[in-house]
Structure 1
């Protein structure tokens, strides 16, 4: 039984990047052998095991055979006879198909180290085209390593274009598309990710609303916004994703949420920013407008929503609102108004809400 470090850990170590997780491939072993050594199998039909102490993933060397459509239509085949080279051949890119032995030596049958040195992303074999998810993965890797000068090999570009033109992306679920977007947001390279998808012609397949709005100008704007967010250590995904939908209509945002299955908090912030940004950034905002905004946001029960929108606007403008402290002070004062004071005055029923609204409006009129 031989154990090798594989995939992203080897790639990032060779690039001098921080290795966040380590995956291993085990050659010449059976599930029974690993179970006897205390490994915990993940799933019933997938030969991946968790190390008894480190909980890192150890996968039996395996091959995959396409059987059906989409990115899930694969039959996994594994046995002690599957070689390391067989296992590496099923991987997507040569830079992800490098293994490292315990003595530090590299096993690199497909030229991944040379492609790393030349900053090239190249598919390992024609089997690449069997998995449409790899279109998004290549775009994500190209975006993540764009700052290092990585480009996609010409033959891989041709294969990606062919897959896209054949409608392969239509087999991906909206939930799976979001997961790739989520990973790119975590990478801090979402502007590059969207731009690469647009250049490939893939953006229109996964989100027509985003594609129709895409332009070089928006790409540059997003790069600037994300650079500001990074400078402020802002990594909250709803805040970051909302920048990409900032110039869309509410209907477009809802369409994006259907084709890319946005989590509720991501979708809701995008819609709230769309509805209230113009009001909150206006230099002539009135007390009445601010009250309407607060009511629509249900700020009295959900005060965090207002803070989140202000943060989204700050990223968008690369600076806090000039009157941000004034807004926060006014809202804090208005939120301190207690309905009990009106009840103590003998006000009842629906009139309590009316009195509360008037009192809050009068507070805002002191500031705006």
Structure 2
């Protein structure tokens, strides 16, 4: 029995990066042999076991054969006669198909990779050196999730390019309808991980280049070629602007919820009627409507959906909000439910900042609306609502009338603060 570390941990060690998934493969063993040594079986679709001490996953070397469309239609063969090279051949990219013997890794998990001991039958080290994302074998076409993974790796390794033959293969897979067979949960999982990479725009550029974006997120794909407003750098269309916004969100280390809101806040611009171009009047409401379809189709988590909805509906008002009077300011805070959910409102403002700074020449320009709205929220929150309610109840005031008194007090506080007329 031989044990090797493969995949992300080896790749990242060769790149001088920390982390990486620890993916162990066992060659020349049977399930019974591992169980005898105290490993615990956990795999449902193929033989995977938990190590008795460190509880990391160890999988028997295996081959896979396509049996149906999509990524679930596989027949798996795991046996002692499956070689390490055969196991590496089923993997997605050459940079993820390099193996290091377990003897090169200390008990504490530290790497001491000896290049002479690495097993690299598909040229992964050379592709790392050349900064190329290249599929291992034609078996790549058997799993459409790999298209999303390539796009995600492009977002992680921003200076890597996709090999021409790999891009051609992905286009063939899209044309064959393979991505249409992906389940929503898996699409969302990969998109979410890609959104959190260092340069998320690369993921969408790769998906667009191979045609997968139009199949998975047609609402986003439709934004390329849509003109921006004349005062918003018309030489950059809405799709390009969107990429700048996503990368600004990464630069500001925004959460997944904020990055998803950045991705979807301008969807309505793709359906702007010709008679209101290029101002995109009413695109906020159209964006919110299209967002509902995206979230239902991909089963987007509630927290991401709710934040994106507020940003889609209100980002234009937040951009213009420094000119609002007290009444309009308070109405927006109430529409955003900012008084009950101040942290979500702070995330809304961060998404709006990404939108404002995701434009040519504005990457390093301050966004004063964000501190302005946070201060407005602080002023509104400073009103002692409990005292108002107790005094009103003592006078026999009940229900909505108390809410009206609280609203009036907050309005007065905003006026007295000098923030709004």
Instruction: Compute the TM-score of the two structures, normalised by the length of structure 2.
Output: 0.81
Alpha-carbon contact 2:200-2:247 (below 8 Å) kept: no
Q: Tell me what 1:145 maps to.
A: 157
Alpha-carbon contact 2:199-2:247 (below 8 Å) kept: no
2:321 is the counterpart of 1:271: no
Please report how far the alpha carbon of residue 64 of structure 1 lies from its aligned counterpart in structure 2 after TM superposition: 0.8
Deviations 1:198-233 (A, max 9, x none): 12221110011111113664565455545544554x
Q: Tell me what 2:277 maps to.
A: none
Partner-residue secondary structure (3-state), 2:81: coil
Alpha-carbon contact 2:168-2:210 (below 8 Å) kept: no
Partner-residue secondary structure (3-state), 2:53: coil
Q: 1:45 to 1:230 in 2, by over 3 A?
A: closer
Q: 1:3 to 1:327 in 2, by over 3 A?
A: same
Alignment partners' CA distance in 2, 1:229 and 1:10: 29
Q: Tell me what 2:377 maps to.
A: 328
Deviations 1:306-327 (A, max 9, x none): 2222222233334443424531
Alignment partners' CA distance in 2, 1:300 and 1:325: 11
Alpha-carbon contact 1:71-1:130 (below 8 Å) kept: yes
Alignment partners' CA distance in 2, 1:354 and 1:111: 70
Partner-residue secondary structure (3-state), 1:26: strand
Alignment partners' CA distance in 1, 2:198 and 2:395: 55
Alignment partners' CA distance in 2, 1:214 and 1:261: 25
Q: How does 1:312-351 map to 2 (within 5 A)?
A: 312-318=351-357, 319-322=366-369, 323-334=372-383, 336=385, 338-351=388-401
Larger CA deviation: 92-101 vs 12-21: 12-21
Alpha-carbon contact 1:191-1:219 (below 8 Å) kept: no
2:66 is the counterpart of 1:66: yes
Alpha-carbon contact 1:207-1:260 (below 8 Å) kept: no
Alignment partners' CA distance in 1, 2:291 and 2:53: 45
Larger CA deviation: 184-193 vs 325-334: 325-334
Alpha-carbon contact 1:65-1:74 (below 8 Å) kept: yes
Q: Tell me what 1:27 maps to.
A: 27
Q: 1:72 to 1:44 in 2, by over 3 A?
A: closer
Which one of 123, 131, 140 corresponds to residue 119 of structure 1? Answer: 131
Q: How does 1:135-174 map to 2 (within 5 A)?
A: 135-147=147-159, 150-174=160-184
Partner-residue secondary structure (3-state), 1:53: coil
Give aligned pairs, total.
365
Instruction: Compute the TM-score of the two structures, normalised by the length of structure 1.
Output: 0.92
Larger CA deviation: 251-260 vs 104-113: 251-260
Partner-residue secondary structure (3-state), 1:71: coil
Which one of 146, 171, 176 corresponds to residue 134 of structure 1? Answer: 146
Please report how far the alpha carbon of residue 151 of structure 1 lies from its aligned counterpart in structure 2 after TM superposition: 1.3
Q: 1:297 to 1:259 in 2, by over 3 A?
A: same
Alpha-carbon contact 2:224-2:239 (below 8 Å) kept: yes
Q: How does 1:174-213 map to 2 (within 5 A)?
A: 174-213=184-223
Alignment partners' CA distance in 2, 1:155 and 1:278: 43
Alignment partners' CA distance in 2, 1:258 and 1:214: 23
Larger CA deviation: 159-168 vs 14-23: 14-23
2:402 is the counterpart of 1:363: no
Alignment partners' CA distance in 2, 1:306 and 1:27: 53
Alignment partners' CA distance in 1, 2:380 and 2:79: 65
Partner-residue secondary structure (3-state), 2:323: coil
Alpha-carbon contact 1:198-1:214 (below 8 Å) kept: no
Alpha-carbon contact 2:249-2:351 (below 8 Å) kept: no
Q: How does 1:231-246 map to 2 (within 5 A)?
A: 231-232=251-252, 234-246=253-265
Alpha-carbon contact 2:246-2:263 (below 8 Å) kept: no
Alignment partners' CA distance in 2, 1:261 and 1:290: 33
Alpha-carbon contact 1:185-1:237 (below 8 Å) kept: yes
Alpha-carbon contact 1:12-1:19 (below 8 Å) kept: yes
Alpha-carbon contact 1:70-1:168 (below 8 Å) kept: yes
Q: Report the aligned-residue RMSD.
A: 2.1
Alpha-carbon contact 2:201-2:247 (below 8 Å) kept: no
